[in-house]
Amino acid sequence: RSYAPGAAHVYTVEQSVSNPNILYAGSATAGAWKTNDKGENWSLITQDLPLNGVYAIEIDFTNPDIIYISGNGGIYKSYDSGTNWSIIGDPAFTTSAHSIKDIKLKPSNNMELFIASNEGLYKSLDGGSNFIEIMDGSFLEIEFHPNSVDTIYFIKVNGDKTEFYRSDDGGNSLTLYTNGWPNPGTGDEQKRTEIA
């Protein structure tokens, strides 16, 4: 029973780039939803999945029927707007219990996928079939620079503070910025982390 039957927190809303009438929403306790008319009407697209919370959603910018959602410690992918779903990732990725906070496709390559998880920052070059870990730790958010697809920003939790990272080479190396950032870390203004 709920104190507000039928109510659910909405974690995320994403709009399709290729069809602005289509939006997807992820909720705390009611799965994922889709609208074809800019929010006038919504339909549940996860009724056949054993999950409640959907914290992150990403829509393929070439095809609004291809979507990624977080849930049950992993990522689900659909090629048909949520009629059918598959869990994606290689065994090393899927055996971890992820709390995924963000999913982002590289704006110039719909096969290059970035994941912010409590288990680390991950990158896929094949649409989520396989992942490589860029950096360990608990990550919260990923954003691409609007004018440079190789410039990416990341937020990481470190104890009771957050850290701000930037990459200028598509996520191959990250630079930690601390000058002026709330609860800055100790050390130099910038600390570079090279990814093998």
Tens of pLDDT, residues 109-157 = 999 999 999 999 999 999 999 999 999 999 999 999 999 999 999 999 9
Q: How many CA atoms lie within 13 A of 62 on its CB side?
A: 10
DSSP state of 184: -
d(CA 164, CA 139): 10
pLDDT of residue 80: 97
Report the sign of the C-alpha dihedral through residues 23, 24, 26, 30, in that order: positive
Q: Give the least confident one: 46-55, 140-149, 174-183.
A: 174-183
**How does pLDDT run across 76-95, given as a tens digit for each residue?**
999 999 999 999 999 999 99
What mean pLDDT is predicted for residues 73-78? 97
End-to-end CA gap in the chain: 50
Helices (H), the chain: 91-94
Tokens, residue 170: 């598509």
- Owner of token pair 């992942």: 131
Please give the pLDDT value at position 189.
42
